[in-house]
A and B are shown apart, each in its own frame.
Chain A
Amino acid sequence: MNTTSASIAAATRWRPWELALLVALPASWFLAGEGHSILGNEIAIFALFALSLDLILGYAGIISLGHAAFFGMGAYSAALFAKHVMPDPLVGLAVGIAAATVTGALSSVLVMRGSDLARLMITMGVAAILYELANKLPFTGGADGLQGVVMGPLLGRFEFDLYGRTAFGYSLVLLIVGLLIARRIIASPFGWSLRAIRDNRLRAAAIGLNVDQRLGVIYTISAAMAGAAGALLAQTTGFASLDVLDFHRSADTMLMLVIGGAGWLWGGVLGALGFKVLHDLLSAWTPQYWTFWLGLFLVVLVMVGRDRFFKPWTWWKKS
């Protein structure tokens, strides 16, 4: 076997720690018990959302400050569907994913061109437009949010309970499915071409890659995944509010990804976990001013550099 296909094969092979992580996810459902399932559910949803951002930010190099657009799209359409059409969660999930996919496909045209800054503004603009729409449209409940969403039992059998046991399991299964799909994508030739585009767009185009088309495809896939995360949140909390489209949501997700490591499959999962732990520690300590320490953390993280920050033994070595 030559070296190229060997290195590609190495990336697809399951390593022991990856299998361990994959086993740890379902195991967390049993460990969480009734006390921590709601928290676990939240983390699983954010992990899925961060994973979707990783596909475009970490692998394709699209800096997006408006990924909440698709999260919110999924959340609102799933909530509206459950409220007005039928309460089945899986059908609602499909509707949420579909709505986010369409939004993603339409707005993917917008991110294909321009500089980083123009893309930053366009993604932020799309999220802001959806935010304004959700705020003003007559059927979304405006600033009060969309209330009174009652979900039916999952698969017609498992009722959503007060402790979030069903919700956590539901979100975990989808997170694992998302991880497997993402893993398949980034190990494929398509995934490698995305990394080529991220590292040098001009050269990628010169070797015959259709850059715009590939960026459009991954952006749409990522939007669909974000929509699934949004739909999950709306379904498991029975509520969709403007908060799902807020700028904070996009920025927090980017932060999760950076904590966990962008351009790495497990970055979203570990980042969501790390972010939640950090958030809980800080807000337990200073409930009102925890954003200050979050900001400080971010500044220090970037100044020191992520790799050095998480490897203390390299701090006193010359870089």
Chain B
Amino acid sequence: MLTLLFDGIAYGMLLFVLAVGLAVTLGLMNFVNLAHGAFAMAGGYVTVLLMDRAGVPFLATLPLAFLIPAVFGAVAERTLYRPMYKRPHLDHVLFSIGLVFMAIAAVDYAVGSQQQIIKLPAWLQGRFEIAGVGIGKYRLFIVVVCLVLTALLQWVLARTRFGSRLRAAVDDPRVARGLGINVNTVFSVTFAVGSGLAGLGGALGAEVLGLDPSFPLKFMVYFLIVVVVGGTTTITGPLLAALLLGIADVFGKYYVPQLGAFIVYLLMVVILYFRPQGLFGRSAS
């Protein structure tokens, strides 16, 4: 029971790291980016390929799993995404679905369509017991890493100059611009960091979520649920939504496996019906 809860929390934290970049993108530029999962997949493949083909140790691949998607993100934001911001939402949807299709086929071509298996180092395998609760070492590792990342994000947002600029830009881009904040730069940096975090999440999650070319489509709904249910105005909203989703999904699959993801979708539809701006979001205009 508590083991399940712990697994759920680990899953939720992972989803949070994966989706937090998407929350900022949506909140800041009102851009519906369905291609967010593609960056996560890039991170996952960076780790798997480096370990498999170059023999790099697991921990050493993680910074690269952050950096490479971040660079991808920065370049894509500059060249592809920026002209899209002013377009209607339908264009966003079509454009990012197109990117997803391209990413899936490109990875399929480059690496192959089989499920990638990640070989964890020995010290992360197995589980141990604390007071009768079995805890997977890797799950614990995920939780610790994600907690550190969350604390770091919260600190950046709340305490640094960049964080206050970002919050100002999210609240009202026009006024922020008027105050001399370069909203475009703020957004580029945020997009890159968000893509990087997704990549890191993809690398960490390769063992838990599985990794194959259809990853961006399979988990697109989950990322969007986190963002839509959590709201885009705070960082705690998506965090709570991710934990809720992670725990609900793990419990649902364990106790009523015949229902599958049914419960998650049903919950989402019900929540969105009663609170279209998200569970924890302020009502946006």
Binding site for B on A (CB under 8 A): 57, 63, 65, 109-110, 113-118, 120-122, 124-126, 128-129, 132-133, 135-136, 247, 251, 254-255, 258, 262, 288-299, 301-303
Report yes or no: B269 in contact with A129, Cβ–Cβ below 8 A.
yes
Query: Considering residues B26, B95, B225, which has the most beta carbons from chain A within 10 angstroms of its beta carbon?
Result: B95
Alpha-carbon separation in the docked complex, A60 to B261 (Å): 31
> B228 contacts which of A117, A289, A295, A298 (Cβ < 8 Å)?
A117
Query: Contacts of A255 on B, CB cut-off 8 Å?
Result: 94
Q: Which residue of B lies closest to A133 (CB)?
A: B262
Report yes or no: A258 in contact with B265, Cβ–Cβ below 8 A.
no
Q: Can you name 6 A-B residue pairings with CB atoms under 8 Å?
A: A118-B276, A121-B272, A125-B269, A129-B266, A292-B105, A295-B100
Alpha-carbon separation in the docked complex, A240 to B94 (Å): 27
Query: Contacts of B269 on A, CB cut-off 8 Å?
Result: 110, 122, 125-126, 129
Query: Contacts of B109 on A, CB cut-off 8 Å?
Result: 288-289, 292
Report yes or no: A132 in contact with B261, Cβ–Cβ below 8 A.
yes
Query: Contacts of B87 on A, CB cut-off 8 Å?
Result: 302
Q: Is the interface of A mostly helix, strand, loop or mixed?
A: helix
Interface contact tally, CB-CB below 8 A:
129
14 additional A-B residue pairs with CB within 8 Å, beyond A126-B269, A302-B94: A109-B273, A113-B276, A121-B225, A129-B265, A129-B266, A132-B259, A132-B261, A291-B105, A292-B101, A292-B102, A292-B109, A294-B98, A295-B101, A299-B80
Report yes or no: A116 in contact with B105, Cβ–Cβ below 8 A.
no
Query: Contacts of B261 on A, CB cut-off 8 Å?
Result: 128, 132
Report yes or no: B90 in contact with A57, Cβ–Cβ below 8 A.
yes
Q: Using a Cβ–Cβ cut-off of 8 Å, how many residues does chain B contribute to the interface with A?
A: 43
Closest 7 CB pairs of A and B: A114-B276, A295-B101, A298-B98, A292-B105, A295-B102, A299-B98, A132-B262
Query: Contacts of B94 on A, CB cut-off 8 Å?
Result: 254-255, 258, 298, 301-302
Report yes or no: B259 in contact with A116, Cβ–Cβ below 8 A.
no
Report yes or no: A132 in contact with B265, Cβ–Cβ below 8 A.
yes
**How near does chain A come to B88, taking the closest CB pair, in angstroms?**
9
Q: Which residue of A lies closest to B260 (CB)?
A: A132
Alpha-carbon separation in the docked complex, A159 to B14 (Å): 56
Report yes or no: A128 in contact with B221, Cβ–Cβ below 8 A.
yes
Alpha-carbon separation in the docked complex, A8 to B103 (Å): 45
